[in-house]
Chain A
Amino acid sequence: MKPLTIIASALPEAPVSEAAAPQGNGLTEMLAGWLPESVPFWGLTLMASGLAFGVIMAFVSVVAMFSTWLERKVAGHIQIRLGPMRVGGWHGWAQAIADGVKLLIKEDIILASADRPLFKLAPALVLGTAISTFVVLPFAPGVMIADVHLGIFFVIAISSVTTIGVIMAGWGSNNKWSVYGAMREAAQVASYEIPLGLSLMPPVIYYGSFSLLEATQAQSGWFGMHWYILDPSVMLVSVPSFVLFFVATLAETKRAPFDLPESESELVAGFHTEYSGIRFSFFFMEEYAAMFVMSAIATVLWFGGWNFLGLAALEGIPVLYTTACMLVFIVKSMLLVFVMMWVRWTLPRLRIDQVMILGYKYLTPLCLIVVFAASLLEYLRFVLSN
């Protein structure tokens, strides 16, 4: 693993070289500069981790709140309604905050017949995994908790841990509908890991790296518009691979038309039927956090990450540049989140056997074809350029 870069203070170019930071990461060093020297190294690391966790947690909360509000507004307007309009004045912007407060002060009900340890652990596990995937997202030059060499691999690996939490929740609830939801989730996520991983291969082949930071930097050409999906030489594979990735993402994040684990009109609410209060809100936040992470991965690999037309002109003013980059990255990701919502409010839900058929008979073979085509294309490009 490469050393960790610094929050908000790294140089725009290139990750910190290994010689410059042999032990800790930028954050640790920053803390070391502020604190007396008597603080041991492990203390600094712990503090840095705590700080990073706090920042991510705050970001996830805001993203989840904004997404719930957006979801309800999008659903409302698609359904020729208005959605929340009362709390906070302008278009009910504070609705999500009000909901959060309500969920916090609600009674936390645990069934007498529930498996208490599993029931209590499940929401924490689910939210924890969702948060940890944020670690590798490159928001802006330097704004990144950790530049992991195998960043993409890390996200896929960690995000599928959610399934274990969902199964725990379903089993621990002692409710047959919940068990159905959990089992569907297990089957669905296990199947869709394959197309999800395969559909990520074309960009990986193109960049020659699993690192999300390197992928972003590779797309900075053409005044910031040299995105993978816009590169005409690879468009033949980049567009299909994105569509396949998007479909697999919908299944991975339990979004319609693959929302079988919680399918409202069949399983009441699926695995979180018996949850209430803050524990329920953890599942809720996880869903939106996972949506954001998956959209962010798509943004990095297909849509140029923080790169945008003419953004490099601001490079002289570091604060402004970093802010603008972050904004571009978040807006791009939120646009993809919006598309997910748009799909949800358009399509009916698939049945579990159809989900399996789609995963194994359609997505997986198509992904294999696209990966093969991408390899071929890369070989041709290599041959032609030499």
Chain B
Amino acid sequence: MELWFTEKHTEHVKFSIQVDKQLYSGQSEFQRIDIFDSPEFGKFLTLDGYMMLTEKDEFIYHEMIVHVPMAVHPLAKRVLVIGGGDGGAVRELTRYLGIERIDLVEIDRQVVDVCRKYLPQTAGRLDDPRVSIHYEDGLKFVRAEENVYDLIIVDSTDPFGPGEGLFTKEFYGNCFKALKEDGLMVNQQESPFYPVDAIAMQRAHKRIVDSFPVSRVYQAHIPTYPSGHWLFGFASKKYHPTEDFDASAWMKLGLKTRYYNPKIHIGAFALPNYVKTLLEEVEPGR
């Protein structure tokens, strides 16, 4: 017997992982939640059939979405994580002792409950005393905040389904308002490779460029996401992602990482020409 999980990366491309067994399946108010165990990737979480994370490669995503902004703004004290109910981004954040408070806003309580139970690797630091979990729509939460956060991490699902509000101009604008004058925002920004994902990526970039004075994009290689080539957005009111980056200061923190390092930090902002072209297409006045 062979049991396979398959996700369609496009209408014509499938990505399959052999599954040992399904550990959990449930339907929340917002989405279908599944946890599988696999020989190659360990346990993995899917939402509505889309891969969210695997135990084997989640470190790449979570290190890149947290350490890049933290290395630019090491004095960040108040951090807001929107989405990210799996706890992976929070786990990386809790390693910074200077952070005083982390608000995690996840719309779906069931995702958090399931991850706590089946994915302690990512959810294990959700009980850190600095973490407050808010179960509500990120768009609504951030609307009410002004001049509060040093860093906002948008760890969203895809631009359709319950996470779609987190790819909108009004959301990025609300985030801008919620940040302090030197605050910054990073977001997962889909893939540039397949056209459908690339359009979503461009739309997000356009809206962020419209909302923030500094907006750059960086990349990482994530084997289980469509095409494996993934982008993140770096938007900031003040700091430049590479010019205001102090490598030695970050090194002094002594954090042990598996993917991120200061050279990766600089290199991640160097983009392939076709990606640069896609981004420039939606940047005004260029």
Q: Do A and B come from one complex?
A: no
